[in-house]
Amino acid sequence: MKKFLSAHRGFFIALMVLVTLLVPVLFFLFSLENLWYEAYAAIIGVILTAIVTVMLLDGQSRSEEEKDKNIEVYKARLGVYSGFNQKMWDILNDDDIESDEILELQNYFFKEVILHLSSQEIGDMKQILQEMNKEEKLREKGSKYFSRLTVLLQSSLMSRDSRLEGLQCPDAEQIAALRSEFQNLIGKLKNEQTAGQEEVSADASAAAEEQQPGPALTVQSWHFTALGDEQFAALESGNNVISLIEYEGENWRTQALTQIGAGELVFLFRRGGYGYVGAFRAKGYVVYAQEEGQLVKTVCMSGSEPETRNVAYDDPDIRKYDIYGGIEDGATSVATLIVEPICYDSRGVSYVTVYRKTISRFYSPYAGEMLSRFLYYKENNDMVNPLTCVPGAFESLVSENNIKPKSW
């Protein structure tokens, strides 16, 4: 039946037109003289209706196509931005920022992300990278800059189509300038790594720990990386504190610092090829934290419970404990150990393996190895020691733990 109707479609259309024209005449709806007038009017009405219907359907089709396109673009942006954001924040998992990690981030950005950003957004990203290049404490403030990049991508994701927003596509010069900032950041980190320390993978660290290069100590030991030269200036001026700062609400370093018990050993690491420069005995800690516009100070000394109270921003102890000026710089917290020097040599005694985190528990045989090296300096009367150490403390420590001098 369907095939029959399809094959004779023209016949049936002509028949319907003929019936439509004859029925009004046969039933005297209007005279034969008016037939052509009425037929012409009807045809014009049909044509106009068809034109309007086509226009409406075309507009609806275009609207649906644009909507589908926008949905697909949004999905693509969401996937690309999420991938970039994850790669970026994964960099901070080991509390360090390395040149090869930024290189990988750069490659992903120019492969996927850049196609979705406007000229203004490219400019904003370039500004953030420029500030990162100038930042002296990038490893400590990495989360601050990464947070700004995340907000930038969120804003881009939530914005409407660039044509409706009046945004412009980036030009070749902007893209080249942005890549230059990435390259500058990679170069900055490479220079720091070359002048600083050998990076060791977690697997290599685990394998090295099995070798147990030195005797294990009877006391808990901690690794602590100095953030800058201000740390050594403070110690060498007689201010026996070891400090760290945190930004953007991070507090895991502070939490780790407050776990250091009185009497436990802290080995201070200095970047730049020095390695460990000293061992200190913890006596207590002081923490300044900015909370809802208030400065909160927590003090805990040996044998006592922590005491917390609000203080003024001109608290007389801030300069003593905030050696980096972190509170003034907008840090959310400043955590400082109060220590007594056991041994110290400003040249450093290198290291067995590098701990990437600012603060962490120190593998006991490594601590024993460092003490063996300090003892080697001391027994050869070769200590470069600008600090006043506790008399007899080092000697008692090496004796209790059967430490022997060792060159390296």
Per-residue confidence (pLDDT) for residue 198, from 0 to 100: 39
Task: Name the percent of the chain lying above pLDDT 70.
Answer: 76
Q: Identify which has the larger pLDDT, 170 or 22.
A: 170
Q: Higher confidence at residue 102 or residue 163?
A: 102
pLDDT at 50 over 80: no
**Burial bucket for residue 230 (CB in 10 Å: 0-12, 13-18, 19+):** middle
Q: What is the mean pLDDT of residues 55-81?
A: 73
Q: What is the CATH number of domain 202-400?
A: 3.10.590
Of residues 384 and 327, more confidently modeled? 327
Answer yes or no: is pLDDT of 164 > 50: no
Does residue 140 have a pLDDT over 80?
Answer: no
Query: Domain map of the chain by residue range?
Result: 61-195, 202-400
Q: Which of these, 401, 384, 29, 15, lies nearest to 232 by C-alpha position? A: 384
pLDDT in tens, 174-224: 888 898 888 888 877 876 665 444 334 444 344 444 445 678 898 999 999
pLDDT at 70 exceeding the cut of 80: no
Residue 355: its pLDDT value, please? 86
Give me the pLDDT at residue 177, please. 86
Give the burial string for 30-51 (b: 16+ CB within 10 Å, else e): eeeeeeeeeeeeeeeeeeeeee
Distance CA 313, CA 398 (A): 43
- Which of 44-53, 258-267, 289-298 has the least mean pLDDT? 44-53
Q: Which pLDDT value is given to residue 127?
A: 92
What pLDDT was estimated at residue 59?
Answer: 62
The H or E element that residue 163 is part of is helix 162-165
Give the per-residue pLDDT at 116: 86
DSSP-based three-state secondary structure for 393 = helix
Please give the Cα distance from 400 to 219 (Å, whole number). Answer: 10
Beta bridge partners of 350: 275
**pLDDT tens digit sequence for 352-379:** 988 888 899 999 999 999 999 999 999 8
The partner residues of 296 in beta bridges, in order of sequence, read 289, 310
109 vs 137, which has greater pLDDT? 109
Residues of the chain with pLDDT > 90, as a percent, come to 40
Average pLDDT over residues 370-392: 88
Nearest CA among 343, 401, 337, 338 for reference residue 375 = 343
pLDDT tier for residue 286 given thresholds of 50, 70 and 90: very high
Q: Where are the alpha helices (DSSP H) in 229-272?
A: 229-236, 252-257
For residue 110, the 8-state DSSP code is I
Model confidence over 121-135: pLDDT tens digits?
Answer: 999 999 999 898 888
Mean pLDDT of all residues in 243-266:
88
CA distance linking residue 276 with residue 260, whole number of Å = 18
Of 300, 403, 399, 383, which Cα lies nearest the Cα of 341? 383
Tens-digit pLDDT profile for residues 82-92: 999 999 998 88
Distance (Å) of CA 23 to CA 13, 17, 31, 37:
16, 10, 11, 15
pLDDT of 333 reads: 92
Confidence of residue 313 (pLDDT cuts 50, 70, 90): very high
Q: What is the mean pLDDT of the chain?
A: 82
- pLDDT, residue 201, reads 40
Highest mean pLDDT pick, 30-34, 72-76, 333-337: 333-337
